[in-house]
Chains A and B, each alone.
Chain A
């Protein structure tokens, strides 16, 4: 065995020891934040290729940052979507409503009305621009932080709160963790807790649309953290192979719970740059510039609709709040990060743009903020009439066993009987509610 024909062992004495690189964010709690390493190119400086271009033509845009709103709050450059002021005001209101909704439902969780909530503060532009740039019939495969799409598409706030409270009016019958909405009629695919699974599903949906000769497209969202999942690679490969009419989005908000974007590979390349290796068009966009996001989404949607194929968009933004109500970001990042973030706040930036256009005022803005807060408050009050989590006003008991399959098999019938028996033992006066579907 000694003389197996392999090369003779050579001296390794001069080789340096190998070192494992474990990424470390620049700032930890207490650190002074200095964002000078983030390159923020001037607005309007990015070229806009034709929507049907070869994917390789988008390569420069994968490392640049598409921006429309400049430092004087003007919309400039070839990516300016030239939206009318009324549309801009509607977008502003949708963003404000989303933020007001987040703020109130966050408090509801703290008040014990529900178990869990996730805000999207600072990322509203991405959701709202998506809803405005796509057709209502286009299917969105969201992650858990695109509630703004539902809000912008006019989904009733009270239905959202019912879901968050898991009450007896919850359309998902109290089965799902709060914020895991499903709204087929609003083109909003059922949210899963398993990260990135919606990515290949969106591609499959888009493939189906192409198989049937439809004109609808799909779009999917992941955070930069979950772009590390294998499903991301599966989706990109399938999207490229079948030229699927899909827009794949990475919301790069710098943080995946406590892990900074370096753990998803951000130290080596932008997330948009992943597009090139798959032969997919890629765009990197200022995620806090709603006009830039709108323009990028519209470009990608037009490309998909023209059978130009898929686009990957990286939305460069910042997760301004904790990951969820179960998270305390001050344990792993500097509190200064949010205030120093070089791309500002998406609502403030659109507000200043509208004011600069002479189409809005600080007073109107303050009035709008009061209005949306009232609207959210009214929705929560109405939803509370249907119950809050753990206060007994839930869906009929038997519904727990329904929809596992189309029909209840014998073993679920038996288990449903058992659950009802247990309930009677615990509460002797209790009578099983008859679900509407079975009455």
Chain B
């Protein structure tokens, strides 16, 4: 069964999976299809990963294909670059996005530029998986959203899913892509969607349509956004956890917003973004990451450049504050319903 577009998957047999199970299934499927896919990272082997994303894979595919690594992110990424140069298709895991920085030189100076500087002689076909984002009382070093560091690097693709359905299809596409892909997994929604109302009981993916994951092999193309809901009052641009927060807030306020899940930040689906803002005339950008020079700034600038004469109000940005991610004041930091609500009100007033 090979399905290319998610819309055509409506009839495919599906069952409810959480995001971890969907990611595990994507890894399993690509490993079965391609003997060159190998997984390495801290605790990913025998134990199956601290979030269980690689559970069972070492047993199924052997220690040559799924193996634990030393605690050294520079080594994990650097070795993966060398494996990719050999011709493998490594899928290294960085346990938390907050710990990707020791591997940054290998990602920015090496993986991203391998194809360019060698004029295509060597490539770095690899997918770096890493849990990211806050909302779990992870404090400063288990909550960060460093996507803007990577969207700024020529040669890297950055992908962030918001549902188990998308996580599986996007991860398969990322692994099969011949460019290096940073695949950030919003760990707050590994087990269920999160609408920002942290006092409410947590939900599972069972009742959410995005938790219905088709069986077998399918890809969701990189560079294509998903229109979560159509609307006319304003365009909301978001990704990851913030899709669900935005949906809840706008539904509660009864605003007929068009919500777009970008899914891939680079290359961005500019056509979908532009068409939506031209239709609605207003744009709200939401992300968890800190504000200054965050990816929202790029989105805001693009919308301003390309939709200026359609805009009826300034582009609004709702983001994390420009502070390190705090522990005790997490919900004062997190761009939750109040902050989003204020921005929606400002846009509606104009």
Q: Please list the residues of chain A having a beta carbon within 8 angstroms of any beta carbon in chain B.
A: 139, 141, 171-173, 175-176, 180, 182-184, 189-190, 192-194, 197, 199-209, 211-212, 218, 230-231, 233-235, 237-238, 241, 403-406, 409-411
Contact = CB atoms under 8 A, between A and B. Distances in A.
B102 interface: yes
A207 B119 contact: no
A237 B72 contact: yes
B122 A202 contact: no
Given A193-B109, A201-B85, A410-B270, 5 more contacts: A139-B85, A197-B105, A201-B106, A218-B82, A234-B72
A53 B179 CA distance: 41
Given A200-B79, A208-B82, A411-B267, A175 B119 contact: yes
Interface stretch (B110-118, B238-246, B341-349): B110-118
B157 interface: yes
A235 B78 contact: yes
A194 B109 contact: yes
B115 A404 contact: yes
Interface string B106-136: 1001100111111111110000000000000
B6 interface: no
Contacts of B267: 405, 409-411
A176 B82 contact: no
Most chain A CB within 10 A, of B82, B87, B121, B157, is at B82
Interface of B: 38, 64-65, 69-70, 72, 74-75, 77-88, 90, 102, 105-106, 109-110, 113-123, 154-155, 157, 177-179, 223, 266-268, 270
Contact of B268 (A175, A206, A411): A411
B262 to A, nearest CB: 14
Contacts of A233: 72
A182 B118 contact: yes
B274 to A, nearest CB: 11
Most chain B CB within 10 A, of A176, A197, A410, is at A197
Nearest to B180: A405
B117 A180 contact: yes
Contact of B78 (A173, A199, A212, A405): A199
B121 A190 contact: yes
Given A410-B267, A411-B268, A403 B119 contact: yes
Contacts of B118: 172, 182, 184, 190
16 contacts: A175-B116, A182-B117, A182-B121, A184-B118, A190-B121, A193-B109, A197-B105, A201-B82, A204-B83, A205-B83, A211-B65, A238-B70, A403-B115, A403-B116, A409-B223, A411-B270
A184 B178 contact: no
Nearest to B106: A197
Contacts of A208: 38, 82-83, 86-88
B157 A204 contact: no
Contacts of B113: 192
Nearest to B112: A404
Most chain B CB within 10 A, of A180, A218, A404, is at A404
A404 B154 contact: yes
A192 B117 CA distance: 8
Contacts of B270: 410-411
Contacts of B75: 200, 203, 234-235, 237-238
Contacts of A175: 116-117, 119
Contact of A192 (B69, B110, B120): B110
B82 A205 contact: yes
A237 B87 contact: no
B86 A205 contact: yes
Cβ-closest 10 pairs across A and B: A204-B82, A200-B78, A204-B79, A234-B75, A409-B267, A201-B82, A208-B86, A190-B118, A205-B82, A182-B118
B9 to A, nearest CB: 24
B110 A201 contact: yes
Contacts of A231: 74, 78, 105-106
Most chain A CB within 10 A, of B79, B83, B109, B267, is at B79
A31 B279 CA distance: 77
A212 to B, nearest CB: 8
B109 A237 contact: no
Nearest to A174: B119
Most chain B CB within 10 A, of A204, A405, A411, is at A204
Contacts of A139: 85-86
Contact of B119 (A182, A211, A212, A411): A182
Contacts of B268: 411
A204 B78 contact: yes
Contacts of A230: 74, 102
B79 to A, nearest CB: 3
A235 B177 CA distance: 27
Given A184-B122, A211-B64, A406-B178, A190 B117 contact: yes
Contact of A171 (B79, B102, B119, B122): B119
Nearest to B82: A204
Contacts of A184: 118, 121-122
